[in-house]
């Protein structure tokens, strides 16, 4: 079968590799659509921590069941999406039901080869059958689940005012789930066209120009109360460090994006607010299921979210274009030529 291998930073190549064979408890999935994620772009750019090459990228995956080993009761030919976080089931996090932050986690396309290829074998626990959604929608379930998980971490209530920092794909997921909780939602970004998109598509309640005086804008938008929840989806040290000073007293901060740096803050500012600082890593199966339900019942909108697509046979060229500044990509997907 064909696979696209990231041989080293900046180099993707088509390679002929052996088609995998499912062992007991494994499912062979014929890939139909692959979402392109910031993680893939960072890995390609060589700035993803702990990344080894060569690697087949791609963890936002949908397809059909092609075959299965013994002990699997998924029907052949059925549409599936893949939960790409393979956890050990034994460590302290797994024992406490938090496989999303397993100490030995292996994320497809990061720690082991992912799905930019024709077929992939995955343990059955991570393959979920779902009817009624397109393969492209199923390929963006993972991305929306990250936002869903962040909103769950903060236990958002309808009385909250939530500020989402960064309106990329993860931010858009967080915005939609925060809106579903009934909270007032503000979004901040450096790009005005992205803010306008969020207002039009997701009916956010207030826009913050991240290049302007953020504190003053928040003071006005919240009548001096400031946001009770801030969800950072920027991966920007300055933005992350600014959260404490812009938070309501008694509020919560969720760091979704990871930055390869130390974050520092002033303890009295942190303390006087009785700040709750939360990390959010990956997503749980429940988050995935909530996203699928939301896409099915229309509370979660994917329309307009996928801005770019290409076929597998032309993906290397397209991928390179998408990584360029000014590409205008919100979410890009790669469709298999036979899909």
> Which residues contribute to the site for Zn ion (CB under 5 A)?
37, 87-88, 91, 94, 102
Q: Residue 87 or 275: which CB sits closer to Zn ion?
A: 87
Beta strands 161-165 and 229-232 are parallel
Q: In terms of residues, how long is the chain? A: 339
Q: Closer CB to Zn ion, residue 72 or residue 108? A: 108
Looking at the Cβ atoms of 102 and 187, the one nearer to Zn ion is: 102
CB of 99 to Zn ion, least distance (A): 6
Residue 106 or 269 having the CB closest to Zn ion:
106
d(CA 175, CA 17): 40
* Smaller CB separation from Zn ion, 41 or 88: 88
DSSP assignment, residue 27?
E
Query: Is the distance from CB of 303 to CB of 137 less than 8 angstroms?
Result: no
| Structure-token pair, residue 192 | 């005005």
In angstroms, give the least distance from the CB of 302 to Zn ion.
15
Q: Please tell me the distance from the alpha carbon of residue 219 to that of residue 227, in angstroms, as a whole number.
A: 9
What is the rounded radius of gyration, in angstroms, for the C-alpha atoms of the chain?
A: 20
The helix (run of H) or strand (run of E) holding residue 326 is none
Q: How far is the CB of 295 from Zn ion (least distance, A)?
A: 16
Residue 136: Cβ-neighbour burial (10 angstroms; 0-12, 13-18, 19+)? buried
C-alpha span between 36 and 335 (Å, rounded): 11
Cβ at position 146, least distance to Zn ion in Å: 7
Indicate the pairing of strand 306-311 with strand 276-279.
unpaired
Give me the least distance between CB of 142 and Zn ion, in Å please: 5
> Smallest distance from the beta carbon of 109 to Zn ion, in angstroms?
9
Q: 126 Cβ partners below 8 Å, 6+ apart?
A: 82, 83, 84, 85, 86
Question: Closer CB to Zn ion, residue 88 or residue 190?
Answer: 88
Q: How far is the CB of 60 from Zn ion (least distance, A)?
A: 5
Contact 120, 61 (CB under 8 A): yes
Nearer to Zn ion, 94 or 122 (CB): 94
Of the pair 48, 87, the CB lying nearest Zn ion is at: 87
For the chain, the maximum distance between any two Cα atoms, rounded to a whole number of angstroms, is 61
The DSSP secondary-structure symbol of 55 reads B
Rounded to the nearest whole angstrom, what is the least distance from the CB of residue 56 to Zn ion in the complex?
15
| Six token digits for residue 108 | 């497809």
User: In the complex, what is the shortest distance from the CB of residue 297 to Zn ion, in angstroms, rounded to a whole number?
Assistant: 23
Buried b (16+ CB within 10 A) or exposed e, 320-330: eebbeeeeebb
CB nearer to Zn ion: pick between 92 and 203:
92
Specify whether the CB–CB gap between 55 and 109 falls below 8 A: yes
């Amino acid at each position: 079968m064909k696979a696209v291998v990231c041989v080293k930073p900046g180099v993707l190549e088509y390679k002929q590799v052996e088609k995998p064979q499912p062992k007991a408890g494994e499912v062979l999935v014929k890939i139909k659509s692959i979402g392109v994620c910031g993680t893939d772009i960072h890995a390609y750019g060589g700035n993803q921590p702990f990344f080894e090459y060569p690697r087949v990228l791609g963890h936002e995956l949908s397809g059909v069941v092609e075959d299965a080993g013994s002990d699997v009761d998924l029907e052949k030919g059925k549409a599936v999406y893949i939960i790409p976080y393979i956890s050990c089931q034994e460590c302290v996090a797994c024992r406490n039901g938090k496989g999303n932050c397993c100490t030995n986690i292996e994320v497809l396309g990061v720690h082991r080869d992912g799905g930019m290829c024709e077929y992939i074998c995955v343990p059955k626990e991570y393959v979920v059958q779902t009817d009624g959604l397109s393969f492209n929608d199923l390929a963006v379930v993972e991305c929306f689940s990250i936002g869903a998980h962040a909103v769950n971490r903060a236990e958002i209530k309808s009385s909250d005012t939530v500020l989402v920092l960064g309106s990329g794909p993860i931010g858009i997921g967080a915005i939609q789930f925060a809106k579903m909780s009934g909270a007032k939602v503000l979004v901040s970004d450096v790009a005005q066209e992205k803010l306008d998109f969020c207002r039009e598509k997701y009916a956010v309640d207030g826009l913050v120009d991240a290049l302007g005086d953020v504190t003053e804008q928040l003071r006005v938008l919240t009548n001096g109360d400031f946001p009770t929840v801030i969800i950072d989806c920027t991966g920007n040290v300055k933005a992350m460090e600014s959260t404490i000073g812009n938070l309501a007293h008694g509020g919560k901060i969720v760091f979704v994006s990871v930055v390869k740096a130390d974050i520092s803050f002033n303890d009295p500012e942190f303390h006087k607010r009785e700040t709750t600082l939360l990390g959010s890593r990956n997503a749980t199966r429940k988050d995935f299921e909530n996203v699928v339900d939301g896409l099915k019942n229309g509370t979660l909108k994917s329309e307009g979210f996928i801005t770019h697509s290409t076929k597998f046979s032309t993906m290397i060229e397209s991928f390179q274009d998408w990584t360029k500044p000014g590409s205008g990509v919100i979410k890009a997907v790669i469709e298999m030529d036979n899909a």
